[in-house]
Structure 1
Amino acid sequence: MAALPSKSAINFKIVFLGLVIFIAILLFVDLKPGAPEITQTAAIAVLIALWWVTEALPIGVTSLLPILLFPALGILDGKAISNSYINYIIFLYIGGFIMALALEKWNLHKRIALKILSLAGSRPIMILFGFMFAAAFLSMWMSNTATAMMMLPIAFSVITALTEVVGEKHIKKFRTGLLLSIAYACSIGGIATLVGTPPNLSFVRIFEIIFPSGPEISFGQWAIFAMPLTITMFLLTLLFLFLKYRPSSEISALRKDFFIKRYQELGPISTNEKRVLALFVLLIILWFFRKDLDFGYFIIPGWSNLFAHPEYINDGTIAIFVAILLFIIPTRERKTGLVTWEIIQKIPWQIVLLFGGGFALAKGFIDSGLSAYIGNQLTEAGSLSKTGLVATVTAIMTGLTEFTSNTATTEMMLPIISGMATEIQVNPLLLMVPVTLAASMAFMFPVATPPNAIVFSTGQLSMMEMMKTGIVLNLIAIVLITVLTLIWGTFILPIDLLQYPDWAIEGALNAPH
């Protein structure tokens, strides 16, 4: 579950530049004569995108602009746009983050990481595997940033132990690979679940806004679809990093019980940890098996069918249910619940507002007709093959996310991509899904993701090392996402390569042109 670092500084020059561009578009640009709302929405989108990308203002503040500008320019009613900020995806994120904070509070995340490492062993490739597996698994459920921060001290204890025995010269290459493995595994693990990274949640809600009659993508369905990409990308990254950064001489400095001893230092698992772990497992099970899982040859019925109205229950309902249990179930001392209300202060509310701002912007794109307008300008893309089309949008998104906020870029791109899909009569999921996945595949630059920035800030690796390693992984990710979407996606998700779905036709008919 990725989170963005919060910045409070204001870049007045960029703020002023954004306002000048915004006013200039309103005064001197007319994208479609007779439809001023299209130009006005484009002006709002450019202003928000510029301030989001540069973080000229705190991200949460910029995310509130739709509430002001859409009603002021007469594009959308203030009540309608405000409703975009509160929905089940917001509560899915809040509930999931409360669970992540509970894991951190009771140090359960560190216990899980050290347990994985103790099982992996102490050979160089197994050390890499252990760190990557722990980081990827934890990032499926909690902040990628917090995971990277937690894994670093463990990594440095390993590096220190190895350096003392074999020397700095022999450990330098392996140290670089180990640090990069943590950053990359956080991003790779995040794509596996809906709560693993904000772009996934943005996709689910924006798809629902644009295509209200479209099929629901449940937690279990997404995980079954994305897990093969996570596993394949994980293994290829592990192999590539090991071959590129394996130590110059065989490292056998670590005792086999190195991680076992670190794990034993935590002491026996406490009653409170057991209770949080039980709720964590319950949350995962409820998310996975809420809806029927249709594998074609057989169906695993969802537990929500036990209720009179299973369609009323969504993944946000489950997240809040387990979050409430965390507040209710007492600690061993029976003085408070496993979490207390003070934990709410640690939720990154700027991300919640960023979600809302993105959903509001998506609604503006659709209701103003801007999405259809941009899609119409991109109709030449229809001449590409399905493979070429998916690969192109994936590559564009992968490049963009190296320099911009993954979530903000996703929320800007998805309405545009959906408009293009509608104009060229391609199943919107065929393009929206790979764009969403590509948003998390940023490996080249420190600014691309918080985990990249965290490992780079240690001063133990160079920008050139990260770039040379990251560009290879970016290319691998583009190929894998394209292949996965065209083959596995058409089996697990409602993507028919030969037929334009009725729900997309209905969405296009309801949208202004």
Structure 2
Amino acid sequence: MTTLPATARPDEAPAALPPGPTSGAPSRQRLGARHGVALVGFVAVVMAGFAVDDPLAARTLWVGGACLVLWLTELVPPFVPTLLLLGATPVLLGPVGEGYGVSSVLAWCADPVLVLFLGGFTLEVAAMRHGLDAAVARHVVRLSRGRPRLLLLWVMGGVAFLSMWMSNVAAAAMMLAALRPLLVALAPGAALRPALLAVVALGANLGGMATPVGSGPNALAVSAASAHVPVTFAGWMAFALPLTALMLVLGFALVLLRFRVDGPLALPAPTGEALEPAGRRVLAVCAACVAAWLSEPLHGVPAPVVALAATALLFGTGLLTREDLGRLDWSTLLLIAGGIALGRLMEESGLVARALEGAGLSDWPREARLGALVAVAALLSALMSNTGTAALLIPLASALEPSASTPVLVAMGCSLGIPFAISTPPNAMVSGEGLRASELLRLGLPLMLAGCLLVSLTGPRVLRLFGLP
């Protein structure tokens, strides 16, 4: 009987997954399309800059617009626009305005949310190094006890739980690795195979909404909302976790309606391997860190300080080594830092105010404005980078509707852009495993529409209950 993948030993780096159909360089057609969109975007940015009479606003538009085009088209690695932003701002804006020197621009990026994400990435690397994530994925499969619907429920909940604390890419990859023996053993045409792939994608995409470290848009929202009201780790989970659970229930119901799965299921034999002592110590550190994050209102230690302490403990005790430092997701940290800096640049230069004056949205009812912002966030995230979308919309939304709840609602909208195979990396991964793009659309589009309506209609009132007016 085929067995599930074994847990990585503490002294070994986790083995990389074999490349699937979606691995490798982008196709020529897709790369050509990206170049074409980027060229059009750059031309539009240059022409818009020349149309602005204020030199400071024009140069801000050139710098910020170029970075947004690169972020949204993903033509270059995601950290490159951040470096461009930090380098070009002092050079182009420094001569025409005060407060745009190197020290001031770098200070825009000094946000505590970056330290919080650093701690989350450190826990992720430690869990992957010592096999905790793979152990969780295998245990989820065993809990189904050969019942297909229970298996779908546990897989969706398990990958969503992993996505709350690590990247959705890593969460989906670990669950697919645990499911691969079962996916291979299923008969051709079995309804369980596409159903399993669908719940992996939906769980990975939706789970990131539940915690501040679950996705890049959440980090930008925490930073923007903190200008009005401090947002604690537990405070975020208090309103985001029920929303995530509700969206997961809706997604699970759609999967059951779409794929008629029933009957007994023969699961691969469990390996029965226990965690090594180092793995148990990492588990203890992870549990203590999460407990400290959730109990922040009781002890008063800020979540970023807890993240720093956990990072120091993991590296200081040898559970992570110097080589593991290079495995942290520095690219995403730079991407988030760039999003924060771009928001500050647009606010400081007055470009946001100019854009809002021309849009005419101030005459709309508040509910209509918020609904439009959430819908635009979901639509753009379905086609482009969700963090890039958040970096574009959160400063505009915060100026249009200055409150602590506005950036949070936009971040929720960014997490709902899931209907296409290209919308998120987990979608691309399950598409590579054989799930058709039409199936993703049938599941993701109703979820996106329902989520946007739910967030727009109930979000402001719910957030007000949790102290985010």
Q: Report the TM-score, using the length of structure 2 for normalisation.
A: 0.87
Alpha-carbon distance in 2 for matches of 1:12, 1:481: 34
For the 8 Å contact 1:90–1:352, the answer to whether it is kept is yes
Identify which of 66, 73, 79 aligns with 2:85.
Answer: 66
2:240 aligned with 1:199: no
Q: Which residue of 2 aligns with 1:435?
A: 410
Q: For residue 225 of structure 1, give the secondary structure of its aligned residue in structure 2.
A: helix
Instruction: Kindly indicate whether the alpha-carbon contact (under 8 Å) linking 1:394 and 1:478 is maintained by their aligned counterparts in 2.
Output: yes
Query: Within 2, Cα distance between the matches of 1:376 and 1:435?
Result: 20
Alignment partner, residue 346 of structure 2: 365
Q: Given the alignment, which residue of 470, 485, 509 partners 2:459?
A: 485
Q: Does the 8 Å contact 2:239/2:462 carry over to 1?
A: yes
Name 1:296's counterpart in structure 2: none
Contact 1:48 1:65 in 2 (8 A): yes
- 1:321 corresponds to 2:335: no
Q: Give the AA of the match of 2:299.
A: W
> Would the aligned equivalents of 1:326 and 1:339 in 2 still touch at CA under 8 Å?
yes
1:382 to 1:227, Cα distance in 2 relative to 1, 3 A: farther
Question: How far did residue 384 of structure 1 move?
Answer: 2.1
Q: For residues 460-483 of structure 1, give each alpha carbon's deviation from its aligned partner in whole angstroms, at most 9, with x where no partner exists.
A: 122222112211111121122224
Question: Which residue in the other structure is 1:298 paired with?
Answer: none
1:288-307 mapped onto 2 (5 Å cutoff): 288-291=294-297, 302-304=298-300
1:52 matched residue in structure 2: 71
Matches within 5 A, 1:21-40: 21-26=44-49, 28-30=50-52, 33=53, 35-40=54-59
CA distance in 1, matches of 2:230, 2:237: 14
Letter in 2 for 1:416: L
Aligned residue number for residue 229 of structure 1? 243
Give deviations 1:207-259, integer Å, cap 9, x for gaps. Answer: 44xx3xx2110111001110110111111111110111123xx33132xxx37
- Kindly indicate whether the alpha-carbon contact (under 8 Å) linking 1:21 and 1:47 is maintained by their aligned counterparts in 2: no
Provide the rounded CA distance (Å) in 1 between the counterparts of 2:248 and 2:41: 40
Rounded to whole Å, the distance in 1 between the matches of 2:334 and 2:366 is 38
Give the 5 Å matches for 1:137-216: 137-163=161-187, 168-169=188-189, 171=190, 173-208=191-226, 211=227, 214-216=228-230
Distance change >3 Å, CA 160–CA 6, structure 1 → 2: closer
String of CA shifts for 1:291-342, please: whole Å, max 9, x gaps.
2xxxxxxxxxx212xxxxxxxx53211111011111223xxxxxxx111111
- Asked if 1 retains the 8 angstrom alpha-carbon contact of 2:42 and 2:69, the reply is no
C-alpha contact 1:444 1:466 (8 A) present in aligned 2: yes
Structure 1: gaps (5+ residues) = 292-301, 305-312, 330-336, 423-427, 496-513
Q: Does 1:380 align with 2:361?
A: yes
Distance 1:43 1:18, change over 3 A: same
SS at match of 2:382: coil
Q: For 2:24 and 2:291, how far apart are their aligned partners in 1?
A: 32
How far does residue 22 in structure 1 lie from its aligned partner after superposition?
4.3
- Return the match for 1:339 from 320, 323, 326: 320
Letter in 1 for 2:390: T
Q: 1:194 is paired with a residue of what secondary structure?
A: coil
CA contact (8 A) 2:222 2:408 kept: no
Partner residue in 2 for 1:243 = 257
Q: Identity over aligned residues, as a percent?
A: 26
Which amino acid counterpart does residue 89 of structure 2 have in structure 1?
F
Separation of aligned partners in 2, 1:202 and 1:37: 25
Q: How much does 1:156 deviate?
A: 2.8
Segments of structure 2 that go 5 or more residues without pairing to the other structure are 1-22
Question: Distance between the aligned counterparts of 2:447 and 2:45, measured in 1?
Answer: 37
Instruction: State the distance in 1 between where 2:24 and 2:58 align.
Output: 31
Q: Match for residue 466 of structure 1?
A: 440
Give the Cα separation in 2 of the matches to 1:69 and 1:107: 42
Provide Cα deviations, 1:443-499, integer angstroms capped at 9, x if missing partner.
2112211111111112x122222112211111121122224413321111321xxxx
Kept after mapping to 2: 8 A contact 1:205/1:359:
yes
Q: After the TM superposition, which residues 107-126 of structure 1 pair with which residues of structure 2 at under 5 Å, given as runs?
A: 107-126=131-150
Deviation string, structure 1 residues 259-286 (Cα, Å, up to 9, x no partner): 7x42xx1512321121111111101111
Q: Is 1:371–1:418's contact at 8 Å kept on the other side of the alignment?
A: no
Letter in 2 for 1:202: L
Q: For residue 18 of structure 1, report the CA deviation from its aligned partner.
A: 5.6
Question: What's the offset of the Cα at 1:348?
Answer: 2.2
- Taking a change above 3 Å as real, the CA distance of residues 235 and 14 of structure 1, as seen in their structure-2 partners, is closer
Which amino acid is the alignment partner of residue 65 of structure 2? V
Change (3 A) 1:156 1:69: same
Matched, 1:444 2:419: yes
Which has the larger displacement, 391-400 or 216-225? 391-400
> For 1:30-50, what per-residue CA distance to the aligned partner results, in whole angstroms no more than 9, with x for missing partners?
1xx5x3322322222221111
Change (3 A) 1:401 1:352: same
Root-mean-square deviation (CA, aligned residues, Å) is 2.3
CA distance in 2, matches of 1:97, 1:216: 22
Contact 2:56–2:349 (CA<8 Å) still a contact in 1? yes
Q: Is contact 1:15-1:51 (8 Å) kept?
A: yes
User: Cα deviation per residue 1:347-390 (whole Å; 9 max; x = unaligned)?
Assistant: 2222121112111111111111112222333443543252x333
DSSP-derived class of the 1:216 partner: coil
Q: Secondary structure at the match of 1:346?
A: coil
CA shift digits 1:143-186 (9 cap, x unpaired)? 110111111132232233442xxxx23x1x33112101101101
Report how many aligned residue pairs link the two structures: 437
| 8 A Cα contact 2:71 2:385, kept in partner | yes
Return the match for 1:414 from 376, 383, 394: 394
Secondary structure class of the residue paired with 1:280: helix
Structure 2: how far apart are the matches of 1:86 and 1:120?
Answer: 45
